[in-house]
Structure 1
Amino acid sequence: MSRVQQLLDTVGRQSEQVQVEWQAVEAELGTALPADFKEFCEAFGRGEFNGFLYVYTSKGGTHLEVLDNLRKLRRALESWPDAESVYEPYRIFEPGQGGLLRWGGAAAEGYAYYWLVTEEAPENWPIVARTDDTEEWHQYEMSVSEFVYRMITDTEFKPFSCASYSPVPHYESYSDAEPGSLE
């Protein structure tokens, strides 16, 4: 059983079967993405876990929120280049150079989750995360789906666990919402 299927089972969901044009998305991004993440996006679509964790996924086609977020961040850094110091000792992802590529977060709490893109195969990119811009970075050698699973089920997965205040793991798909309510 894949980690994504384990996560679907844990939250009692069936795959959304979102169709993403990965070749076009990865060409625009300038890098391949981990297979686990692509499976995750296709299975979950847009939504959030435990009312807390939001993963930058896709509504299908050539849309990917990872790419949307990267564009916004680059525009902000063009206006305020000194703000990049917030990411030290890392830098923001650039094709061919590696760096931080954000895949999720918990906006209300300030938590941020990234891959550290390296020359390694995407499946080997570590996850780096922190609870806010002033905190230390934490590094994990695991996939996005394993990280999410640990966050929503493991009370000892500190400082990122949300299992203690939401003991029944759940996922709210934005496609379950009333049409037009989120746009």
Structure 2
Amino acid sequence: MTDINALTRLCAPPGTPISIRWEPVEAALAMALPTDYKLLADTYGPGRFNDYLAVFHPHGVTEYVNLTGPMPARIRGQLREQARRGLIPVPHDPDTLFAIGSTDNGEYLFWVTDPADDPDHWRVAVNEARGPGWYTFDGNLTAFLTTVLSGQTRVPLFPRGLTDRTPGFTPSQPVLVKPQPFQDQPPIDTAALRAWARANGYDVPLRGRVPAHIRAAWEEAHKA
């Protein structure tokens, strides 16, 4: 059984597979892509697994989740700076790390693109959102998703309740309003936000996206 078959048996795709023209995508990135990722992107399209894990996609609906958008380069630049200044240990050469996904809590998923000319043997790495922790998975992205969503692999950086429900995939919806610039939306400590919301009488989910009105109230309450 291939990795994509194992994943689709565990987590049903949203519908008819889409057809992506991979030649211009790879040309734009100036690198070949793993075979498993192409099957994953064709099968599921853009979206999120368990309302927590978003995989970057050539048809990503915003720059934050678009494979050929600016996020991979921005994140790599941040890692280079962290490594140069010794702020946070980076266990892999930042030049080998290519951001391929993100989580609701602010972690990033990376391909470890070594060897550069053999993408089907790239591993997956995850960094801690607000700390020095890293986790490396010795396998491809599709196998990583399958073992994480099935509970076979426990990523210490992810919430314990991630696999409490049946694995699911939610397709992305088109974005009709242009998002604010990246630098105007600094990351928020979602744990602190949820604690504040509960203390102030808001009904906030334990995981998944924090509703926009709660985040707006948090930002209003914490204006300088």
- Over the aligned positions, Cα root-mean-square deviation in angstroms equals 3.0
Query: Equivalences for 1:20-39 in 2 at 5 Å?
Result: 20-39=20-39
For 1:114, give the aligned amino acid. Answer: F
Deviation, 1:155, is 6.0
Equivalent pairs counted in the alignment come to 169
Write out per-residue CA displacement over residues 59-96 of structure 1, whole angstroms, 9 at most, x where no aligned residue.
Answer: 28xx982221224446x65xx97356457343444xxx
Cα 1:169–1:160 change in 2 (3 A) is farther
For residue 125 of structure 2, give the secondary structure of its aligned residue in structure 1: strand
Query: Equivalences for 1:66-145 in 2 at 5 Å?
Result: 66-68=67-69, 69-73=71-75, 82-83=81-82, 85=84, 86=88, 88-93=90-95, 99-106=96-103, 108-119=104-115, 120-145=117-142
For 1:112, give the aligned amino acid. Answer: Y
Aligned counterparts of 1:91 and 1:133: Cα–Cα separation in 2: 20
Cα 1:162–1:18 change in 2 (3 A) is farther
Aligned counterparts of 1:103 and 1:117: Cα–Cα separation in 2: 11
Q: Give structure 1 stretches of 5+ with no counterpart.
A: 94-98
Deviation, 1:180, is 5.1
Cα 1:19–1:89 change in 2 (3 A) is same
Cα 1:149–1:163 change in 2 (3 A) is farther
Deviating 4+ runs (over 3 angstroms): 71-74, 80-87, 89-93, 160-166, 179-183
Cα 1:43–1:15 change in 2 (3 A) is farther
Cα 1:40–1:161 change in 2 (3 A) is same
Deviation, 1:10, is 1.4
**Structure 2 length as normaliser, TM-score?**
0.63
Deviation, 1:156, is 5.0
Deviation, 1:51, is 0.8
Which residue in the other structure is 2:148 paired with? 151
Aligned counterparts of 2:161 and 2:9: Cα–Cα separation in 1: 19
For 1:40, give the aligned amino acid. Answer: L
**Identity percentage over the alignment?**
19
Q: Give structure 2 stretches of 5+ with no counterpart.
A: 179-224
